Amino acid sequence: MPELPEVESVRRTLEPHLLGARIERAHLRRRDICHGSCTDIGLLVGATIVKLRRHGKQLAIIGSSAISKTGRRAVQENDRAIVIHLGMSGQLFIERGDELSRTHVHCVWTVRGANSSTTTRLIFRDPRRFGGLWTGKWKWVIGEHWTDLGPDAATIDAGILGRRLAGSRQTIKAALLDQEVLAGVGNIYADESLHRAHLHPETIAGALGPDAIKRLAKAVREALAEAIDAGGSTLRDYRNGDGETGKQQLRLAVYGRGGKRCFQCNAPLLSGTVAQRTTIWCPTCQRAAR
């Protein structure tokens, strides 16, 4: 499932193609993946793209029909937006070849670049259909759609994380996966962050002391930043906006490595179920609290 680093990599690779570009057409092939106004206006036809913003695992494409001659780039509340959830297998990318002939292509936008006489196509593809499109004004996105999400994990600090975890009876693994606590972390980077912070995944979140919270906040930021630099992790379906795979899966310390040796201490990594998810941890580096 694409997590924060994968969605951020999509955003960064799409920006050069889309900022300042005008959406000329939209072809929605599956109505059931679109929520809100799924008309041409809702899908930003006729609008110029002024911003791509991400929060957690969600990406917003923001468009305006009121661009000045000098090119307005500041986002305003009444600008329209499409929020894309990639779900388990979603892909959002610029057409490179025969992608339109592939199965599970659900929406196609024809886009004309800011200083170009040619058009390109932006494709949303989702084989498992756990993702989708949500449309509305930007003020709705930030005032309603994203209000149930916690702070963005990429910039979390110890003070904010401590307040989010205070009094929680969840395991720390469950808390990291809870998007209302912290937006952007999924199973991959929860395991990676806990290993970096030397925390057992079944530790009660509200019982963490200041030093542990500080280590964890730093570990989350570092795990996500390194993954972003590597273009994310491609385990199966994920591709960035240019259709390229990520490289972080080659560098993961614990995720997907149950039974193999810990890179830090050489102990065999354990595998179990925590928060209803397969979880990998080191019994030496991540000792359970007694």
Q: Is the pLDDT of residue 68 over 70?
A: no
Find the length of the chain. Answer: 290
Q: How confident is the model at residue 97 (pLDDT cuts 50, 70, 90)?
A: low
Q: Which residue has 């499409």 as its token pair?
A: 82
Cα separation, 74 vs 105, in Å, equals 31
Q: What domains can you pick out in the chain, each with its CATH number?
A: 4-145 (3.20.190.10), 153-281 (1.10.8.50)
pLDDT (tens digit per residue) in 147-200: 999 999 999 999 999 999 999 999 999 999 999 999 999 999 999 999 999 999
pLDDT tens-digit readout, 108-137: 999 998 777 789 999 999 998 889 999 999
pLDDT in tens, 4-46: 999 999 999 999 999 999 999 999 999 999 999 999 999 999 9
Q: What is the DSSP string of 6-70?
A: HHHHHHHHHHHHHTT-EEEEEEES-GGGEES--STTTTTTTPEEEEEEEETTEEEEEEES---TT
In 3-state terms, what secondary structure has residue 97?
Answer: coil
Q: What's the CA gap between 97 and 89, in Å, rounded? A: 20
* pLDDT at residue 69 is higher than 70: no
What pTM was computed for the model?
0.95
pLDDT at 255: 98
**What mean pLDDT do residues 67-95 have?**
85
- Tell me the catalytic residues: 2-3, 57, 277
pLDDT computed for residue 114 by the predictor: 79
pLDDT tens-digit series, residues 7-17: 999 999 999 99
CA-wise closest residue to 112 among 23, 43, 25 = 23
Which pLDDT score, from 0 to 100, does residue 115 have?
Answer: 78
Of the pLDDT bands very low, low, confident and very high (cuts 50, 70, 90), residue 70 is very low
